[in-house]
């Protein structure tokens, strides 16, 4: 009977641990409450089934013990002390079963408390979802205002670029007028910014040079082409890239003894 009692107590301890683990898992997973509830319920159902199996096994063992006791008594092979011991073991098992009933009731109470907690968590989740909806609305409104501000900034930037281009065009026209006036009066007018480069390619009457908009070159700018100390011709820019510009030769300024070649220097400072 001592072995039987120990086995039954171990089974009840395993059952208690299983139920405690199921309950702890239920509290640990607050966000997926439905899944946790289902898992906890399934765990408790398994625990109840294990408890019923253990009780049935214990009862069967008790019946076997009673049968054996009766058999021994009938055969006069047991002493009164041994019979009392069997009865004491029987009472111990009964007491243990009673304690297991108390633990089962405590587990049921714990399950009910967990269910209430899950309901509270569900309500909190609903409130959080409502708050998230409000936050999303506020965020969408803020994003809309941000996009409007960006669009306004882009429009202002485009307007500023247009004004800057107009200003540059005006400055270029003024510079060209100053150059023409200076040439007409025989006076050299220095450019606003000195720009120098080289001829990089010749194709179909177009001349590519190694400077562009990054170097402050603009459409309509004029450059003098030279080879060493020899004047070759003058060109005017017809198209501008970031680091390259395309120009056409100004025939009226051509040195009849020279021809523009790749590698020739260009400068807006030489008149």
Q: For the ranges 108-112, 187-191, 200-204, which has the lowest average pLDDT?
A: 187-191
- Segment 191-198 mean pLDDT: 84
Each residue's pLDDT tens digit, 116-134? 887 887 888 788 788 878 8
Q: Give pLDDT tens digits for 125-176.
A: 788 788 878 878 887 886 777 677 667 656 766 765 666 555 555 555 555 5
Quote the pLDDT of residue 69. 76
As a whole number, the mean pLDDT across the chain is 79
The two tokens of residue 39 are 């898992």
Output the pLDDT for position 78.
61
Alpha-carbon distance 96 to 51, whole Å?
12
Judge whether residue 256 has pLDDT over 80.
Answer: yes
Give the long-range contacts of residues 248-254, CB within 8 A, separation 24 or more.
Answer: 248/205, 248/206, 248/207, 249/205, 249/207, 250/222
Would you call 102 exposed, middle or buried from its count of C-beta atoms within 10 A (0-12, 13-18, 19+)? exposed
Structure letter (DSSP) for residue 215: G
Per CATH, the architecture of 196-267 is what?
Beta Barrel (2.40)
32 pLDDT band, cuts 50/70/90, is low
Distance CA 84, CA 222 (A): 126
Which residue ranges make up each domain of the chain? 2-139, 196-267
As to burial, measured by CB atoms within 10 angstroms (0-12 exposed, 13-18 middle, 19+ buried), residue 10 is exposed
Q: What is the pTM of this model?
A: 0.35
């Amino acid at each position: 009977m001592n072995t039987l009692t120990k086995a039954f107590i171990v089974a009840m301890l395993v059952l208690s641990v299983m139920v405690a683990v199921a309950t702890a898992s239920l509290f640990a997973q607050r966000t997926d409450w439905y899944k946790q509830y289902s898992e906890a319920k399934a765990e408790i159902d398994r625990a109840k089934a294990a408890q019923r199996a253990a009780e049935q096994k214990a009862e069967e063992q008790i019946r076997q013990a009673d049968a054996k006791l009766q058999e021994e008594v009938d055969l006069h092979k047991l002493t009164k002390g041994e019979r009392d011991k069997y009865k004491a073991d029987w009472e111990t098992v009964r007491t243990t079963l009673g304690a297991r009933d108390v633990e089962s009731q405590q587990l049921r109470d714990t399950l009910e408390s967990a269910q209430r907690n899950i309901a509270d968590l569900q309500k909190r989740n609903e409130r959080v979802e409502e708050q998230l909806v409000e936050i999303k609305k506020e965020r969408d409104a803020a994003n809309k205002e941000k996009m409007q501000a960006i669009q306004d900034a882009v429009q202002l930037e485009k307007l500023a670029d247009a004004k800057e281009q107009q200003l540059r065009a005006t400055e270029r026209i003024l510079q060209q007028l100053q150059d023409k006036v200076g040439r007409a009066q025989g006076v050299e007018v220095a450019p606003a910014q000195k720009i120098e480069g080289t001829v990089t390619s010749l194709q179909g009457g177009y001349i590519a040079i190694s400077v562009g908009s990054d170097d402050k070159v603009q459409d309509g700018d004029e450059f003098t082409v030279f080879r060493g100390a020899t004047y070759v011709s003058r060109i005017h820019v017809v198209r501008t890239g970031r680091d390259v510009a395309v120009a056409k030769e100004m025939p009226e300024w051509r040195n009849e003894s020279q021809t523009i070649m790749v590698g020739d220097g260009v400068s807006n400072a030489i008149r």
